[in-house]
Each structure stands twice: as C-alpha cells, then as structure tokens.
Structure 1
Amino acid sequence: MGNVTITRFDTVAHVVSGTFDLIVREESGTETHQLTDGRFDLTLE
C-alpha cells in the first residue's frame, strides 16, 4: 500500500518527477518496511 504523487510532468524537457510513501513486505517473509519521503526524477524517452 502506498502513495505516489507526480509533481512535475514536463513534455518539453521529457522529465517526470514526484514523491512517494510506501509500505512494502519482504518477499520471503512477513516483515514490513515503511518507505517515507521518497523522491524520483525520470527522463522520458
């Protein structure tokens, strides 16, 4: 479960940026980890 927010979608510079908060579970177990204040910048091709 989590949230992803797109904060920039620039079709001229071909860039998408945003933030995220997620709760992930380990693939081989039941332990969970909370990822907060994540940020990403991706170049679109």
Structure 2
Amino acid sequence: ICYKKISVKIPKNFVTEGETPAKVFDIGELNLAGTFSGESTDCLN
C-alpha cells in the first residue's frame, strides 16, 4: 500500500488560535491523479 504525500501552504492570515476559525481557507478541488511539485510517496511493505 502506498500513500501520496503533498504539502499545501496556508497563508498566515488563515491560521488562528482556538476552536473557531476567523477565516476559512478554501483549497477548492484537488485532482490527486496528477503530480505535484514536491510530491512524495510513502509505501508500507
């Protein structure tokens, strides 16, 4: 079993403390069939 690993940068103004966010970061839709810059794969053998 292999897992695709990607990183998504979230702007600082979307990061808040506490349980209720001040703003919500909408990443939209990601097509995971493609490739991403900095993508890696983690396999369990």
> What is the TM-score with the length of structure 2 in the denominator?
0.25
Higher share in helix: 2
Structure whose alpha-carbon radius of gyration is higher: 2
